[in-house]
Every structure is written in C-alpha cells, then in structure tokens.
Structure 1
Amino acid sequence: MPDDSQRAESAFGALLRAILAESPLKAAGFIVTIYGDVVEPRGDVVWTGNLIETCAAVGISETLVRTAVSRLVAAGQLSGEREGRRSFYRLAAPARAEFAAAARLLFGPPEAADWHFVHLTGPAPDEALQVLERAGHARLGPRLAVGARSLPPLRQPAVVFKAEVLSGERDLGAFAADHWNLALHADAYRAFLGRFGPLAGLLEGTNRLSAAESLVARLVLVHQYRLVVLRDPRLPQAALPADWPGEAARRLFTGLYIRLSPEADRHVARNFVTADGPLPEASEATLRRLALLREAV
C-alpha cells in the first residue's frame, strides 16, 4: 500500500501535468524563472547540469535547454564559463537589474500609485508603445500612453509627465474601464487561482511533497504568477472593479511560496552547484523575500 508521501507525490504529478497542459512552458522563460527564484538571490552563476535536471522535471528536453541557453547568451542575459569539463552560466549585469525589479514586484509590498503620462518623441513610436503596454500602460494616442506604476526601460526618447488625481477619484473605475482591458487581466488571475488552488489543498494535512517536487512546484508557481503580474497594469484599488481577483491570487501565491520553500531550499542546497561549491540553502536575499511575504499574510 502506498504511504501518504507516495499518494501526495502521485497527486502532485497529476496536478503538474494538468497545469502544464493548460499553460505550457517555454524553455527560455522557465530558465529565466530558475535564475530569478534560485540562482540570483544566492549569487549569479550555476552549473548547466542543474538547469537540465530541473527543466527535465517539467518536460523540457536537454536539447531545448541548451538551445535556450545559447539564445539567452546571444541576448546578453547570460555569459558562459568552464571549469574542467563542466559549463556554468552567469547572469549578465543588465539581467541582474531586471531580476531585482521583478523580485520587488513578486515579494515586496504593493507599490503606491505613480500616475504619469509618456509622450514618445523618437522614431518608431509604435514599438515603444508596445513595450509600455506590456508593462501595463494604456495607449492614448499614436505617441502617448498613461500608467499608474513604474516606467519600464525605454530605448527611445520620451517626455514623461508626472500626474496626480486632483478630483474625480470616484470616477477612476470608469477611466480605467475606458483605457484598459481589465477583463483580460481578471481572467488571467482567475485562471491562476484555478490552476494552483488545488495545490493548496494538496499541501493540507499530512500530505508532503518531496524536496525535488517542492522546488518544481515553487518554480512553476513563480513562473505562472510572474507572467500574470508583469502584464497587470496594477492600478490602485479605487480604479479596480469590486470583484477584482488580483488580491486572492496574491494571497494564494504568498501562502504557497511560504509552504513550499523549506523543502525547495533544501533541494537547492543538496543539488545546485557553482564552480566554487554548492549553492547555500538560504541567503540574506532569500530570507528577506520570505520575511516580506510573511509580513503580508
């Protein structure tokens, strides 16, 4: 007869397959998640074998991993180095800055509203407007966008106007509904809740995942939540519908991340290595992340 641990593992495997079937992973994006969740807060370099083993657990082949790593190197996000017969990949400086910004969003307290207008002055404004839209801004014209959160890096010149709500705050919801497709973002949050709500149930009671499964579960959790949050305009509460599911998704993410971390971090310490030795189970950055999440519970 299977014990509770074996039953939990079987249930987790079925749940993981269901999540990945509904929202398949791309190798490069998942490798970025591994660096952001595991590697960056403990340094910036890891053995290629760890990437291959972790990706294999979610159905990404070694060939796809090596192809994705090569593309990330070509894009200036990773740089490679060898130690004996092993290859290691290190985060490039621009990638570290991007990862730090994403970590603040995932683990830090909610951002205060920072309304601003962006008027693009250079050539090809449509490309820059697409960058702004992906970062949650709304297009108001062929060169003009508005946003309530931090401005993403732009490669084109722009004039940025700071703004504040002087009156009509009760009508912010109507303003937001006119300029953002909030239903699209709400559906993304509800889909996240539907995928990962069963994981919370799986972790209740005596069920436990193995250390390796805990890490895989946390990585897939971070990957899926990051994709939703990075596209969310993250408007202030006054501008959101009354039934906005973003807060419920945030609570689910926070609770699951805290529950999965002890075993996930033990797996990292036992298996992930650099040229100088194993990655630590915890670091100042990982402890700070968990402390910030616990404060929000």
Structure 2
Amino acid sequence: MVRRRYRGRVMREDSPRPQSLMLTFLGDQVLGRDVCVYSGSVIDVFARAGIGEQATRSTLTRMVGRGLLRRQREGRRMYFGLTDRSEAVLRDGERRIWHTGAVNRQWDGTWTLLGFSLPESWQRQRHDLRSRLAWAGFGPLFNGLWIAPGEVDVSSLVAELGLSAHVKVFRAQADAGMDIGAMIEETWELSDLAASYEAFVRHWQPCGERTPDGDDALVLRLRMQTEWLGLIRRDPRLPVGHLPDDWPAERAEKTFRTVYDRLAPPARDAARRLLDLVPVREAQA
C-alpha cells in the first residue's frame, strides 16, 4: 500500500473561548470530586489567563442558563458545580483525551455508512445534520452518503434532529481493490487539521523543556488542554495505516502528554492555593 506524504499550512488559535476554557477548568478541577468552586476563584484563575472579570461572570451565567452549571450559595459567596449535562460533556472530553487518543491504531476495517434524503425545502435540517455528522467524525463520500471509520452509534444524534425516518445507517467493509488512502483524501479535508497538529507541537514543545512557576503552570495547562481537546474533537480519527507517512497527530499527542506531566506538579500546588472548593449539597435554584 502506498502511503501519501502531506504538508499543510499553519493554522492555530492562540486564545480559547471563555466557555471552552471554563469546561477545561471544570474537568480539571471539579469533575469527579463532588465539589463546587467559588466564583471568585474562577475569576482569579481566568484573570491570570487574560480573561476579564466581566467575561468570566458572563460565561458562568450563560452556562447556568444552558444547564451546564448549578449555583450553590454559602453565606455571601456563590459557588458553582456541575450538572448531569455538564458532567456528560466533561466525561466525553476525558475519554477523548486519555482513552481514545488522537491516533487510531486499532481499526478493524469496519466503516459506518449513513445515507439521507431530505426535501429541498429542509435546508436548516440538512445543515444541522451535516454539522453533527462532521462533529461525529463523518465525511461526505457522495452527496447524501456519509462515512466514518469504525462503528459509530448515531441513533441519538438522528433522533434529536427528528430525522429518523429520513436516515439509513449501515456497517460495511471496503472491497479488496479499494484504495482507502485515496478515498480518505477525497472525503476529508485534512490539510488544516494536519497544520494545526504541527503548530501545536511547535508552540507547546518548548514548555516540556522547563518548569514554570505554579500560577503560570496552572494557566498553561488549562490553555494547552483546551487547545488539545478542540483539536482532537475535529479529528475523525481515520486509520493511521491509511494516512500520510508524516501525519503529525502522534507527535502532537506525545508533546501534549510530555508537557502535561511537566506542568502537573506545580499546577496542582497552584490549584490548592488559589481555589476555594466546598462539598456539593442538594441542588439549589
């Protein structure tokens, strides 16, 4: 099998959105601990990340409104804790970072095929379905026929959009003569993703060569985790044996883990010093 080489342009975002950073913060400091965090602590940490108090407060308020956070008052202080919805989101991120990973080495040759036919007037529904399929790792094989590696359960996705009657899902394997590498190149736009992996390595690798102060380590780790999760969530995790020889995901993942381990001890010390946490009580309005 001929494996193709690839070079892409550098594209990366240096400033994560406040909500993305907030989810990383909650996953790092609150998930699995049955605690709530004081709003002032969040404001303090986010200020060190260059996010102002008003933006942090607005993010907390919006996330409460969306059912991603719950409030808990202790005296004059307001604390924030997870909801079932935010815990599910954070568990998914945890799984992607520490279990699924960025490199698909265990593909068994199975593909999930999803075909749909929607009325011409259903432009919004078509857009929503395509967006959700792309987020789930699918690519457009043909118009109305999308494909993803492995067995992907899309039943809840389709049901949420109310399109169960218009979608058909199959499991399949490619014919022996199929050039899977060529199919991947035609189906997925991988240039930006590869360039982002390369940019991630260039930006974060130097952080694995030195240990910053505690406060800086905490903020750096939050920013790096946020960027990494956003990156691997864009990745359809195509089988590594059919990707270009110089596909940079493995180097990027190694960089992430190395820098994370380097930042972990001072970041933990900073969190213990900066964060005011209280045990979760019964949910309050």
Q: Do both share a fold (TM > 0.5)?
A: yes
Count of residues paired in the alignment: 251
Structure 1, 107-116 or 184-193: larger mean CA deviation: 107-116
Alignment of structure 1 residues 257-296 onto 2, 5 Å: 257-276=260-279
Q: Do the aligned residues in 2 keep the contact of 1:50 with 1:273 (CA within 8 Å)?
A: yes
Say if 1:173 and 1:95 are closer, same or farther in 2 by CA, change over 3 A. Answer: same
* Bigger RCO of structures 1 and 2 (CA < 8 A, at least 6 apart): 2
CA-based RMSD:
2.3
Q: Does residue 239 of structure 1 match 2:242?
A: yes
Give distance in 2, aligned partners of 1:146 and 1:132.
9
Alignment of structure 1 residues 64-75 onto 2, 5 Å: 64-75=55-66
**1:49 maps to which residue?**
40
Give distance in 2, aligned partners of 1:142 and 1:54.
46
Give distance in 2, aligned partners of 1:234 and 1:57.
34
Say if 1:163 and 1:42 are closer, same or farther in 2 by CA, change over 3 A. Answer: farther
Q: Does residue 190 of structure 1 match 2:191?
A: no
Q: Does residue 101 of structure 1 match 2:92?
A: yes
Residue 59 of structure 1 and its aligned partner are, at CA, apart by 0.8
Q: Cα deviations across residues 17-54 of structure 1 (Å, max 9, x unaligned)?
A: xxxx9522321111111012222143353111121111
Say if 1:137 and 1:109 are closer, same or farther in 2 by CA, change over 3 A. Answer: closer
Structure that is richer in helix per residue? 1
Structure 1, 266-275 or 127-136: larger mean CA deviation: 266-275
**2:135 maps to which residue?**
134
Give SS of 2:114's match: strand
Residue 181 of structure 1 and its aligned partner are, at CA, apart by 0.8
Give distance in 1, aligned partners of 2:127 and 2:35.
34
Q: Does residue 173 of structure 1 match 2:176?
A: no
**1:90 maps to which residue?**
81
Q: Counterpart of 1:137 in structure 2: which amino acid?
A: F
**2:25 maps to which residue?**
34
Q: Counterpart of 2:91 in structure 1: which amino acid?
A: A
Give distance in 2, aligned partners of 1:144 and 1:127.
15
Q: Do the aligned residues in 2 keep the contact of 1:77 with 1:91 (CA within 8 Å)?
A: yes
Q: Cα deviations across residues 187-227 of structure 1 (Å, max 9, x unaligned)?
A: 110111121122123x1xxxx32222211111111011111
Gaps of 5+ in 1: 1-20, 278-297
Gaps of 5+ in 2: 1-11, 281-285
Q: Do the aligned residues in 1 keep the contact of 2:18 with 2:51 (CA within 8 Å)?
A: yes
Alignment of structure 1 residues 107-146 onto 2, 5 Å: 107-110=98-101, 112-113=106-107, 115-120=111-116, 124-141=125-142, 143-146=144-147
Residue 263 of structure 1 and its aligned partner are, at CA, apart by 1.7
Give SS of 2:230's match: helix
Residue 160 of structure 1 and its aligned partner are, at CA, apart by 2.6
Say if 1:50 and 1:121 are closer, same or farther in 2 by CA, change over 3 A. Answer: farther
Residue 120 of structure 1 and its aligned partner are, at CA, apart by 4.4
TM-score (norm 2): 0.80
Residue 270 of structure 1 and its aligned partner are, at CA, apart by 2.9
Give SS of 1:181's match: coil
Give distance in 1, aligned partners of 2:197 and 2:136.
16
Q: Counterpart of 1:159 in structure 2: which amino acid?
A: K
Q: Cα deviations across residues 154-211 of structure 1 (Å, max 9, x unaligned)?
A: 1223433223345246x2211100100111110110111121122123x1xxxx3222
Q: Counterpart of 1:223 in structure 2: which amino acid?
A: T
**1:160 maps to which residue?**
169
TM-score (norm 1): 0.77
* Deviation >6 Å, runs of 4+: none
